[in-house]
């Protein structure tokens, strides 16, 4: 064999190996994206086992996906970012994970004391809390939720409605007009919902709704967020608050444990109810 023939064989071998590596990388990427579509939250340790790759390789893949805007990396893994989110109709939202939302609402009852003034936000999980307050006559409820107001209209606690513009999609009264009422009231505890949450905070699809949520959190002595685990990783256009403003998160036990640990480090009390996802 001549030196030229030997060099040609070596070059061809390297090209075949590189082509094989690219093929494996493409297959790994497709499997990684499929797992993200299924789970939304993934852990590096789990991906190493399922994809047969090293932690360094998985971290590089996740870093590339983050640059593409497909995921947000968190400690120990990543969360899929939902792009071009369209908010569903209120009744559709209310029917999703309803059993878990009812459990979250029951847990929230334990934070309410006699004589308090509480605020009920316009979320579907908070609506479940309103339904459980119809026998409570010794508290005052302030709300911007049309649905919560209707639940408590015939009986229950003293009820104060926030004025403003009705946002039909969320059945909530929102916007700058609500400031006139909210700025004059003091709230013991605000029970808030959210469209999405990440380690960077809370978000919703409407800037006026975000304005009202932020205003309420400045008027409350304690802020209690009611959000099931499906909200993790959802990011909408309008920032509506940070976890530095949240005192308690009530969610379900399918919530990512690394995310929970990050919140606890920030001083947030996290209470988890049982879900059917475990």
CB 129 within 8 A of CB 109: yes
pLDDT band at 197 (very low <50, low <70, confident <90, very high): very high
List the domain boundaries for the chain. 3-80, 90-273
pLDDT band at 176 (very low <50, low <70, confident <90, very high): confident
Q: Pick the residue with more confidence: 172 or 84? A: 172
Predicted local confidence at residue 87, as pLDDT: 52
pLDDT at 31 over 60: yes
Q: Pick the residue with more confidence: 38 or 82? A: 38
Estimate to the nearest angstrom the gap between the alpha carbon of 141 and the chain centroid. Answer: 25
pLDDT at 148 over 70: yes
Q: Map tokens 């400031």 to a residue.
A: 179
pLDDT band at 38 (very low <50, low <70, confident <90, very high): confident
| CATH number attached to the domain at 3-80 | 1.10.10.10
Q: Spell out the alpha helix ranges (H) of the chain.
A: 3-39, 44-51, 55-67, 90-95, 98-109, 124-131, 146-152, 179-182, 207-219, 257-265
* Beta pairing class for 158-161 and 140-143: parallel
Residues paired with 94 in a beta bridge: none
Q: Pick the residue with more confidence: 16 or 238? A: 238
Q: Report pLDDT digits (tens) over 53-65.
A: 999 999 998 888 8
Read off the pTM.
0.68
As a whole number of angstroms, the longest Cα–Cα distance in the chain is 97
Could you tell me which residues come within 8 angstroms of residue 42 by beta carbon, excluding any fewer than 6 positions away?
A: 32, 35, 36, 77, 78, 80
The mean per-residue pLDDT over the stretch 187-206 comes to: 93
CB 157 within 8 A of CB 138: yes
CB 147 within 8 A of CB 127: yes
pLDDT band at 175 (very low <50, low <70, confident <90, very high): confident
CB 71 within 8 A of CB 35: no
What's the CATH fold of domain 90-273?
A: Rossmann fold (3.40.50)
The mean per-residue pLDDT over the stretch 66-78 comes to: 78
pLDDT at 215 over 90: yes
The mean per-residue pLDDT over the stretch 208-234 comes to: 93
Q: Report pLDDT digits (tens) over 95-131.
A: 466 789 999 999 999 999 999 999 999 888 999 999 9
State both tokens at 157: 């606690």
């Amino acid at each position: 064999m001549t030196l030229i023939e030997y060099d040609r064989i070596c070059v061809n071998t390297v090209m075949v190996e590189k082509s094989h590596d690219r093929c494996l990388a493409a297959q790994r990427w497709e499997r990684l994206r499929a797992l993200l579509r299924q789970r939304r939250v993934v852990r590096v340790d789990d991906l190493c086992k399922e994809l047969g790759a090293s932690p360094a390789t998985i971290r590089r893949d996740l870093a590339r996906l983050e640059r593409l805007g497909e995921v947000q990396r968190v400690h120990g893994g990543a969360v899929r970012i939902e792009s071009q989110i369209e908010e569903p109709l209120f009744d559709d939202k209310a029917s999703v994970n309803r059993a878990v939302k009812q459990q979250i609402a029951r847990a929230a009852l334990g934070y309410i004391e006699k004589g308090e003034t509480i605020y009920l936000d316009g979320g579907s999980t908070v609506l479940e809390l309103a339904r459980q307050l119809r026998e409570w006559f010794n508290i005052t409820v302030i709300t911007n939720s049309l649905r919560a107001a209707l639940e408590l209209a015939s009986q229950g606690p003293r009820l104060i409605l926030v004025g403003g513009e009705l946002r039909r999609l969320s059945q909530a009264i929102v916007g700058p007009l609500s400031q006139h009422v909210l700025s004059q009231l003091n709230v013991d505890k605000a029970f808030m919902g959210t469209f999405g949450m990440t380690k960077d905070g809370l978000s919703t699809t409407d800037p006026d709704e975000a304005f009202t949520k932020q205003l309420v959190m400045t008027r409350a002595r304690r802020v209690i967020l009611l959000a099931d685990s499906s909200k993790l990783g959802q990011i909408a256009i309008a920032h509506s608050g940070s976890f530095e403003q949240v005192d308690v998160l009530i969610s379900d036990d399918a919530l990512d444990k690394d995310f929970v640990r990050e919140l606890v480090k920030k001083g947030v009390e996290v209470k988890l109810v049982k879900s059917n996802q475990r």
